[in-house]
């Protein structure tokens, strides 16, 4: 490796484009010219600024900053490199190029971390997907900030070395010290304090929530203010079974990229619940931003619940952006310089008032809306996005007597057990992770009795429903059958499934 210009040091790093890892080779060499550092290969501003950080850090760590020119190439040159996580591999590269650490020690080394002016190594967002990338790209052992070591160690089949500062890095690479073992952060299932028992009365709403949880069906809640729409949505979230380990890692990786996750936080097995305000922008919802698009609320709710309250307050075009990702279970955001794909298998819960004033059908207060305004308002409750929501229900306010009375329904634990059983039944039939929500036309028809099918056809005709109601009803009926541990969809399952639609706004 040594020649006229000394050592050519090579360190690996992982560049993330969204969640997709790419191997980056960091080549570091002394060169002729004025003292300084020359960084090539599409570094962004944060990577460019690394020079100032690592120079000071190296000097303050009692190491030597070379009085000559250092050229660093980030290869492949056309891949954009973003963030301060490149500080650590750059520093290691410089130290190796200046022969302060043996170049041989860099074999099979990958590093990720931000370097402080005092030489300390700090965690960066995206440590978890970086660790996954390091394993999948077989870059060798991974040096990360000690604070993030637990997170990185969640990835199996990868040697993770947590480091506190540059001094320690040098000591480890010179062989003066042995690495500490990095233990994965513990996993936990935070016990939800939201119990379904708290929902008084409302047996139909409770049943709907159970079906939504079991089949992963998207849910539309329509009801006057204060009738408990949000309360139901949160309890629906509490009904979802805990995540499998690989699912939890997937979720944590997205949150890690978004910087929403403290690196030393335990790995949560609870599905995420996201409740963005209705003033959210399209980029906030589906992801975006300059350069490489960051995950939006949709991706952050992956494998969990995305709750949008006051649905009709959010502009139509923003809502319509949800349509395709809800159907595909992933969102692809294309920007001038990158294309990013985030998974987005969410249970979408939308809540809205029944009419502009909010009191249509409310026994406590009369609605003051003009009928044509209600009609127009309701018209906005249909369309491509709403067609993808399988369950539509009207939530009715509970009267005071029931509110004051004792809790009368089943608890979350009881219902969650049924939900889990139904999901397992579906998974046995269709394969792991498949929900009734995802089923295709032919799969649905296969499990439907002839009588059920003719009931459905008759009902769709009699109720003047659109053809789209067909698949929607069958999907829900499938879940109802699974909740009742029945293999073939029967007419009564179809009939119940048909009940989860909105009624006419005025009496006819």
Partner 1 sequence: MSGAFAGLRSVAAQVAAEGTDPHQLAAIVAFSAQPRSHPDALRRRDRDGDRTGPIAARVAALAGPPTATTSPVAARLLGAWRGDAVRVALVGDPAYPRCLAEGWPELDPPVWLAWRGQAPGHDPGVAIVGARRATSYGSGIAAWLAEAVTDAGVRVVSGGATGIDAAAHGATVGRPGGTTVVLGCGHRVDYPRSHARAGGLFDQLLEDGGTLVSEALPHQPPRAHQIRSRNRIVAGLAAAVVVVEGGERSGSLLTAGAAAERGRAVLAVPGDVRAPGSAAPHRLLAEGAGPCCSPAQLLESLGASPSRTQPSGDTTAVADGQARPGAAAPADGAAGGGATGVTTLPPTVHAALVRAWPRPVRLEDLASTAQVPVGGLLAALTRATVNGEIAEAADGIRLRRAPPDVG
- Angle at the Cα of 308 from the Cα atoms of 304 and 310, rounded to 5 degrees: 160
**β-sheet with 305-308: strand ranges across:** 273-274, 305-308, 347-352, 219-222, 391-394
Q: For residue 313, what are its two tokens?
A: 């307050």
Residues 428 and 440: their CA atoms lie apart, in Å, by: 16
Residue 212 within binding range of partner 1, rule CB under 8 A: no
Q: Which one-letter DSSP state was computed for residue 241?
A: P
Window of 105-113, 115-123, 315-323, 485-493 that interacts with partner 1 by CB under 8 A: 485-493
Residue 29 within binding range of partner 1, rule CB under 8 A: no
Residue 505 within binding range of partner 1, rule CB under 8 A: yes
Residue 508 within binding range of partner 1, rule CB under 8 A: yes
Residues 197 and 416: their CA atoms lie apart, in Å, by: 12
Residue 478 within binding range of partner 1, rule CB under 8 A: no
Residue 507 within binding range of partner 1, rule CB under 8 A: yes
- Least distance between partner 1 and beta carbon 483 (Å): 8
Q: For residue 258, what are its two tokens?
A: 């978004």
Other C-beta atoms within 10 Å of 366: how many? 9
- Least distance between partner 1 and beta carbon 495 (Å): 4
3-state helix/strand/coil string of 433-485: CCCHHHCCHHHHHHCECHHHHHHHHHHHHHCCCCCHHHHHHHHHHHHHHHHCC
Q: Contacting partner 1 (CB under 8 A), which of 102, 108, 225, 371?
A: 371
- Give burial (CB, 10 Å; 0-12/13-18/19+) of 228: buried
Residues 363 and 398: their CA atoms lie apart, in Å, by: 10
Residue 498 within binding range of partner 1, rule CB under 8 A: yes
Q: Contacting partner 1 (CB under 8 A), which of 76, 80, 361, 384?
A: 361
Residue 207 within binding range of partner 1, rule CB under 8 A: yes
Q: Contacting partner 1 (CB under 8 A), which of 185, 396, 412, 479?
A: 396
Site string for partner 1, 434-463 (x = CB under 8 A): ------------------------xx--xx
Residue 209 or 331: the one with the smaller Cβ distance to partner 1 is 209
- Residue 385's φ and ψ, nearest 5 degrees, are -70, -45
Residue 394 within binding range of partner 1, rule CB under 8 A: yes
Which of helix, strand or coil describes residue 71?
strand
Residue 206 within binding range of partner 1, rule CB under 8 A: yes
Q: Which of residues 257-296 bind partner 1 (CB under 8 A)?
A: none
Residue 484 within binding range of partner 1, rule CB under 8 A: yes
Binding footprint of partner 1 on the chain (CB under 8 A): 201-207, 354, 360-361, 363, 366-367, 369-372, 374-375, 394, 396, 398, 402, 458-459, 462-464, 480, 484, 491-493, 495-496, 498-500, 503-508
């Amino acid at each position: 490796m040594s020649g006229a210009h000394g050592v050519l040091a090579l360190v690996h790093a992982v560049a993330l484009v969204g969640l997709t890892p790419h191997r980056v080779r960091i080549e570091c060499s002394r060169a002729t010219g004025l003292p300084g550092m020359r960084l090539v290969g599409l570094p962004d501003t944060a990577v460019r600024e690394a020079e100032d950080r690592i120079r000071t850090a190296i000097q303050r760590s009692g190491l030597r900053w070379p009085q000559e020119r250092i050229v660093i190439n980030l290869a492949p040159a056309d891949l954009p490199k973003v963030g301060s996580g490149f500080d650590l591999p750059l520093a290691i590269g410089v130290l190796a190029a200046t022969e302060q650490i043996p170049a041989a020690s860099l074999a099979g080394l990958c590093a990720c971390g931000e370097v402080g002016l005092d030489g300390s190594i700090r965690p960066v967002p995206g440590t978890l997907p970086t660790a996954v990338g390091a394993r999948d790209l077989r870059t060798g052992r991974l040096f990360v900030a000690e604070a993030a070591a637990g997170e990185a160690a969640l990835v199996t089949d990868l040697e993770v070395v947590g480091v506190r500062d540059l001094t320690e890095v040098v000591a480890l690479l010179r062989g003066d010290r042995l690495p500490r073992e990095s233990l994965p952060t513990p996993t936990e299932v935070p016990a939800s304090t939201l119990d379904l028992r708290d929902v008084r009365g409302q047996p139909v709403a409770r049943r709907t929530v159970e079906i939504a949880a079991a089949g992963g069906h998207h849910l539309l809640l329509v009801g006057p203010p204060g009738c408990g729409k949000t309360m139901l949505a949160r309890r629906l979230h509490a009904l979802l079974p805990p995540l499998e380990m690989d699912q939890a890692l997937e979720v944590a990786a997205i949150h890690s990229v978004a910087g929403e996750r403290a690196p030393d936080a335990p790995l949560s097995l609870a599905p995420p619940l996201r409740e963005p305000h209705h003033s959210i922008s399209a980029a906030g919802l589906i992801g975006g931003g300059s350069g490489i698009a960051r995950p939006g609320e949709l991706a952050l709710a992956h494998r969990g619940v995305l709750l949008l309250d006051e649905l009709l307050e959010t502009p139509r075009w923003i809502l319509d952006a949800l349509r395709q990702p809800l159907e595909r279970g992933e969102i692809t955001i294309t920007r001038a310089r990158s294309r990013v794909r985030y998974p987005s298998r969410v249970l979408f819960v939308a809540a809205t008032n029944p009419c502009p004033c909010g009191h249509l059908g409310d026994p406590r207060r009369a609605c003051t809306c003009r009928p044509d305004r209600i009609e127009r308002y309701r018209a906005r409750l249909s369309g491509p996005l709403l067609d993808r929501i399988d369950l539509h229900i009207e939530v009715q306010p509970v009267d005071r007597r029931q509110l004051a009375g004792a809790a009368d329904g089943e608890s979350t634990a009881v219902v969650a057990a049924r939900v889990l059983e139904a999901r397992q039944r579906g998974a046995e039939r269709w394969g792991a992770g498949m929900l009734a929500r995802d089923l295709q036309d032919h799969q649905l028809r296969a499990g439907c009795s002839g009588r059920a099918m003719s009931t459905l056809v008759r009902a769709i005709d009699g109720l003047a429903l659109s053809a789209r109601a067909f698949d929607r009803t069958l999907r829900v009926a499938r879940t109802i059958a699974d909740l009742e541990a029945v293999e073939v969809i029967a007419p009564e399952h179809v009939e119940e499934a048909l009940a989860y639609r909105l009624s006419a706004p005025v009496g006819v």
